[in-house]
Structure 1
Amino acid sequence: MNYLSETKSTRIATALETMILDNTLKSGTFLPSQQLLAEQFQTSSRPIREALKLLEAKGLVIITQGRRAQIRSNNLDQYVESLSTTLVNSPISTGKLMRNLMQVRISVATSAAREFTRLQDREAYLAQLWRASNTMEAALPKIFKKDAQGLKMFQDAENEFHQILINANGNQILICIYDNLAPMLVTALNAIKFTPAQIEKRVRDYSYLCEALQNGQTDLAVALVLVTLTTLENKVIDRYPDDSAVAYA
């Protein structure tokens, strides 16, 4: 396994990153010179240069030859991007990472289902959910014929369904976190083989969920989200057991 080691440069980068993200170091300002940073962190110039390169890779600073590093941004999107990068580079197994990602999806989706009846634009979100659900149902005949196009049609509609439900949650921080982490989870789910019968059951569950949201049956809606996503989580765990190590470049 090839985990990222906690070197002096990564510790310095983490310290500077924290100051950037908590607004101690303002966007657009310049960091101290490499010499001053070396004195501050009681190290040589090499770990400082490496730390700045790590920050540059995350998009947190701009490095221009002959000038001090400039802080690029500390807005929400940059924070979430940095957080996501840190998470996926953490030295944990694939199974652990995928379990964490599924828990994020479950938490946000159940919260969205619980609050759905209180939404002012509830009908608009519901119409979008029904459209995604109907698309999944329309894909079933092709899936039973083992048509790859039908499977992709279903997968795209299922991903869209969850995105709509999570957008309805209205929490911009959670939405941003989900948007940054979902692609990895989607890739993992798409790699798992499901039988046509299993997919057909998921399609029915999404239809029942739409009906529950439409009828204001909050408890039933939350239960359906939990059942559907927990079933998917179990499939992910089976596919990626906790002892399967991974490293991200």
Structure 2
Amino acid sequence: MYAAHHSAISNSATQVADADAVANSLATTTVAIKHNRAGAFDHIDPVPVVHERTLAGHIAHATILTARLDRELLTPDARPYRVAVRETVRGRTGGFVRIDGRWRVAPNLRATFSIGPQPPSSGTKREISTARIDVVLAVAADTNKTDSPVAARAVGILLPPTIHNTQLRTEDGRRAMTTTQYRHIAGMLDADINSSVQAENITAANAALTEHLDSRIESPVFPSRISTVEIVVRRWKRR
């Protein structure tokens, strides 16, 4: 689901710690992160979940899970995973690294996720090495066949149909979490998807959410960036 490509932005002095080395490690190191998913949904028993992907993939996924529409969090049950990602990455990158993930759809639909301390200000004259990773998100091909391709891609990224189709057919807490997640977003968008979710029809549920999200997205939209999470890595040396 996540393909990472990184490039150096600036590395102006040999004495500067190399951010490109960190970016390369994030893009190529695969780890499994375990967490209990339930978060804000207090009525659901926590379900242990394991995600295995590259560190950059974890950062990208955690970034998507911070997405807000008009400042309201779309995925309130994802905090345990975000915390686990932050702790795992910090443990592997050290204390003089700042990582910022960003996903942009529109001015009022975007996501940011940060790991590590703020880098030194320009007034300190400490040089900072910077690199970027572009993590490409897998999006269902049929999202381009609608009248609202931007909204359709956004919904497909936030609520991947293949994954949620599987989760709706389980008998454990994943079904309850998926149902609650859909109803949470539907409530934000004033969309009626109850019958579709009860019928385990994710295609119809996502189509309804797409229609309502399309009416809420502000201009200008950023179609070229919807399928990519941009990760900026900054690294500096101790004084």
TM over 0.5: no
| Higher Rg | 1
Please give the TM-score of this superposition, normalised by the length of structure 2. 0.32
Larger strand fraction of residues: 2
Larger helix fraction of residues: 1
Please give the TM-score of this superposition, normalised by the length of structure 1. 0.31
